[in-house]
Amino acid sequence: MGKHMDIARRDNLEKFKRNEPFDILVIGGGATGCGVALDAASRGLSVALVEKNDFAEGTSGRSTKLLHGGVRYLEMAVKHLDRGQYHLVRDALKERGVLLRLAPHLCHCLPLITPLYKWMEVPYILAGLKLYDLLAGSAGIGNSRLLGRSRALERFPMLHAKGLKAGVLYYDGQFNDARMSVSIALTASQHGATIANHLGVEGLNKENGKITGVLVRNGISGESWDIGARVVINATGPFADSVRRMDDPGSHPMLKASSGTHIVLDKRFAPPDTGLLIPKTEDGRVLFVLPWEGHALVGTTDEPAEVSEHPRPMEEEIDYLIHYICKYFDLQFSRSDIKSAWSGLRPLVSDPGKSDTAKLSRDHVLEESPSGLLTIAGGKWTTYRKMACDTVDHAVKKFNLAQENSCRTDSIPLTGGADFHADGGVQLAEAYEMDPTIAEHLNRAYGDQARSVVEVGEEGFGGTLAEGHPYLEAEVLWAARHEMACRAMDVLARRTPLALLDKAAAASAADRTIDIMAKELNWDSDRCREEKQLVQERLTSAI
């Protein structure tokens, strides 16, 4: 197996068209689907994964990007003596440690500070975060501690100083969610899975009432055909009910969607190395302000929502986030400070008895329908590996699949992670006389493949895509060649996070991105026009 390998989508489509049945076909290329594909392929099973849009174009590319147990879920576990929530937090904290190890380029440890404006809050929050540390056990990544007022302001100088009593510092993980999905998909492919994005499932094929495969449609060419599989796994996140309805039009919905909007501000709203947790908003939620790719990420909301592919952030959600920025920060704020805003849908396991989506369980559910459709939904990004393991265990047992080994994904580094060095950015900057910020970005985004990306740049693609951002033209070429980027937005919103960070910068990078992809992928002028329109549509309506 090479250090990196060409993943030719075209070859994979041909392989799908041969219609030789796979052991497992996974629908959905988010965290859950990619995780299932890697888990199953690394057990020696034959695996297909099809994603209607792009990897991580759903919820998995729109998260808060924290590898965490969830401080709020711990509070709920303690307050309501809820063992389920308690286990969820404990499992997620363990997984946080595993992912920091398997994808050290894409994940890192982030100190966060909780500002306290009332003395009576201090023991409560400190005890809660100490319990959080305790639950992490040997997977802990740092000890929570109390900071005096001036130390708290040193760490997070933009905090509202008046009335601040103290802060509690604690640690969680932060990660690059979109690249992590792609990295899991590529790793699955290296283990033999056949994967394709922009290939959606439009129907389920059955014989004698049992599912035997799916009908797919190529979202780019419009072509349709069948793919056979012994087991079909529905890992479509918020869209799970739509696939369940393909199986049984009368099935009762199992999910409720809740929208979570984030806004991105420039770096003056967050220090480069510390996040902020607002432990309780007026409606009892938590809110984060995090350093992210040289900017400040603020989120999130939690509102019941309709399921749609590109949910649009609502004005009220943006106002809600601004309200807390103004309340907690000693900084002048105007709406023009918002560089981008986007929304993701939480696939929450629904309980018809509860109307407030903030109280629904974040745990996952695994359902098997009478025709054999396995649906895995809910959970968190942080726990995708565990969800994948549960799902494949179930499939192997119930469908008698001949696996070579049991789950071993806790020892499979993700693409780019095996030979990553934290100081690789410094070495890269020296070796290629590069801007240190760009070198650091490449080391973090590509890990042990960063040098290969730089070398691609030597073909005349060494420039940056947008002023003030470290993303290189070389990355467009790399993404089209090695990471299955098929549309300009795949590069602008997921292989790089440009559109999520700064819409104006993404708009300015669109033409160059399309030019590079057109040459690499042989696009004609009609296709280039279509791509331009799509980019414009996404950047002006919803990413």
Residues that bind ligand FAD (CB under 6 A): 27-33, 50-53, 57-60, 62-66, 68, 200-201, 235-239, 243, 260, 300, 344-347, 379-382
Nearest distance, CB of residue 433 and ligand FAD, angstroms: 37
Nearer to ligand FAD by Cβ, of 435 and 537: the residue is 537
Neighbours of 327 (CB within 10 A): 11
Residue 227 burial (C-beta neighbours within 10 Å; 0-12, 13-18, 19+): buried
Q: Which two tokens stand for residue 62?
A: 């729109």
Cβ 185 vs Cβ 178: under 8 Å:
no
Residue closer to ligand FAD, measured from CB, 281 or 508: 281
The token pair at 498 is: 């440009």
- How far is residue 225 from each of residues 55, 200, 202, 203, measured CA to CA in Å? 21, 11, 10, 10
Assign 129 to helix, strand or coil. helix
Q: Which is nearer to ligand FAD, 12 or 449 (CB)?
A: 12
Neighbours of 90 (CB within 10 A): 18
Residue 190 or 236 with smaller CB distance to ligand FAD: 236
CA–CA separation, 367 and 301 (whole Å)? 28
The C-alpha atoms of residue 437 and residue 425 are separated, in whole angstroms, by: 8
Give the nearer residue to ligand FAD in terms of CB position, either 251 or 427: 251
Nearer to ligand FAD, 50 or 442 (CB): 50
The CB-of-307 to ligand FAD minimum distance in angstroms stands at 9
Minimum gap (Å) between residue 95 Cβ and ligand FAD: 9
**CA of residue 277 relative to chain centroid, distance:** 20
Query: Which residues have a Cβ under 8 Å from the Cβ of 225 and sit 6 or more positions away?
Result: 16, 17, 19, 215, 216
379's CB contacts (< 8 A; 6+ apart) are 32, 362, 363, 364, 387
C-alpha distances (whole Å) from 355 to each of 177, 238, 311, 414 are 29, 17, 21, 39
Structure tokens at 252: 């009762």
CA 247 vs. chain centroid, Å, equals: 27
Q: Which is nearer to ligand FAD, 43 or 380 (CB)?
A: 380
Q: Give dist(CA 235, CA 243) in Å, integer.
A: 9
Quick one: 381 or 446, whose CB is closer to ligand FAD?
381
Closer to ligand FAD by CB, 234 or 449: give it. 234
Tokens of 89: 């937090």
Least distance between ligand FAD and beta carbon 209 (Å): 21
Q: How far is the CB of 241 from ligand FAD (least distance, A)?
A: 10
Euclidean distance between CA atoms 273 and 294, whole angstroms? 10
- Comparing CB distances to ligand FAD, the nearer of 50 and 454 is 50
